[in-house]
Chain A
């Protein structure tokens, strides 16, 4: 019986090291783009979900200009189309597999609707596959980050808003100076966790031909028929990316919480 891991196999895959370096660069770049897209999308979605945009509000007011006590009209008047759309988006994206989403974006949106120019960046990033990858992952993580941001904002005690508004500050000022600084501190661990999740989840884009770390594993296997050792190299790379990332953010989290302790 052969050994599970054979030392000489590492020697055999050594010539393909460049593929792993390039794969690592792709994975890191893709995660960075994804987290930026996801965060901006999440801010938009969370703002929509927390908005008080009710175009039918006039239905909730009676002839004398007072708020109705109840009934269908009051319920209709509270309908917020922005919040509805954002909630629908979040629930659909969270309730379907990310692989399906990546395929729909790559084969559907970028296959039929939008045609991307085919060229490579830095000699190894295939633009026409990289962009659908970050769009799909960004859309997916936007849904998760939206919920993180929303719950972070809602977890701040209502007394904070009241105190701020009682001092004459506007809703925007209250958000900017009082709510967001506290909310961001609270949600930082969850966002860090999401970033680490994105690094790992980006592996799925090798199925649409993005040349990331997993794609390097596949290429080495095709050329050498060795599978376990390249996988171990990939595992080590992913660990070296994810573990320090979470530690660095934990460090900043501790620094930011200095106001909470004596």
Chain B
């Protein structure tokens, strides 16, 4: 599914706290190609989430660059079509990057349908009826066609996360970022969320997934990135990485989680 066509180009990405005393990201360089399912693994505190959250600027990096669709989104000003410097419109780029959070972050004061149609209607000016039709189709696909009128509190964790995924899909993103999407779920609900993600991967969606689900990484990922101490220590296709780890930190990590 991977095309070799670069979608996100990350160069020497750095994120420091406390005057550089804490280096959450210490120079990460990686390319995400269209159609990639890149799974980021590593011990906690290794900077996986910070890396993922930097990709759509939920965290502002201290240094380095992120070129998304040909635009360096870490710059405050970027050249427009005619080469004139204009203020970077981060909201426009975020529309193209769907994000799924560990704690779902559904909007509790809205029904499922409202959760899904708000952004397409407000941001993309899609007619309400069209947005609702699209939302209902997506809900059916994830097996929640009958819950459109429910409020988030009425759903289980697994259902909430499936809603969060389709809510992001409503914006028709070019890439989906998953920040530990199954870590807050009861074990019996992990499968239903991973199934939705798997289906998405098979459809060719570009995905960057931070997870502790090694099975998912091995089965669905076409690349696995291993991070520790804010650095990208090893990356490979999953079978090579899991079966023949090179870096001692990776060997140590795998011996603990597998």
Chain A positions within 8 Å of B, measured between CB atoms, are 66-67, 69-70, 157, 159-160, 162-170, 173, 177-178, 181-182, 185, 258-262
Contact = CB atoms under 8 A, between A and B. Distances in A.
26 contacts: A66-B63, A69-B20, A159-B101, A162-B101, A162-B105, A163-B99, A163-B101, A163-B107, A164-B119, A166-B94, A167-B95, A168-B94, A168-B95, A168-B96, A168-B119, A168-B123, A168-B171, A169-B119, A173-B122, A173-B123, A258-B151, A259-B152, A260-B108, A260-B153, A261-B153, A262-B154
Contacts of A169: 91, 118-119, 122-123
Contacts, number: 81
Q: Bin the interface of chain B by size.
A: 35 or more
A220 B106 CA distance: 60
Interface in B85-131: 91-92, 94-99, 101, 103, 105-110, 118-119, 122-123
A252 to B, nearest CB: 15
Contacts of A170: 91
B16 interface: yes
Contacts of A258: 151
B19 interface: yes
A171 B101 CA distance: 19
Given A177-B122, A178-B107, A260-B108, A166 B62 contact: no
Contacts of A70: 18-19
Contacts of A261: 153
B159 interface: no
A260 B108 CA distance: 7
Taking chain A's interface residues, is the majority helix, strand, or loop, or is none over half, making it mixed?
helix
A240 to B, nearest CB: 34
A167 B151 contact: no
Given A166-B56, A169-B123, A173-B122, A259 B110 contact: yes
A66 B62 contact: yes
A165 B154 contact: no
B167 A167 contact: yes
Contacts of A185: 109
Contacts of A259: 108-110, 151-153
B1 interface: no
B58 interface: yes
A212 B197 CA distance: 67
B233 to A, nearest CB: 25
Contacts of B103: 159
A176 to B, nearest CB: 9
Interface string B165-185: 001100100000000000000
Given A66-B63, A162-B101, A259-B109, 7 more contacts: A66-B62, A159-B105, A166-B94, A167-B167, A177-B118, A259-B153, A262-B154
Nearest to A260: B153
A167 B123 contact: yes
Nearest to A261: B153
Contacts of B97: 166
A168 B92 contact: yes
A67 to B, nearest CB: 7
A47 B168 CA distance: 29
A168 B91 contact: yes
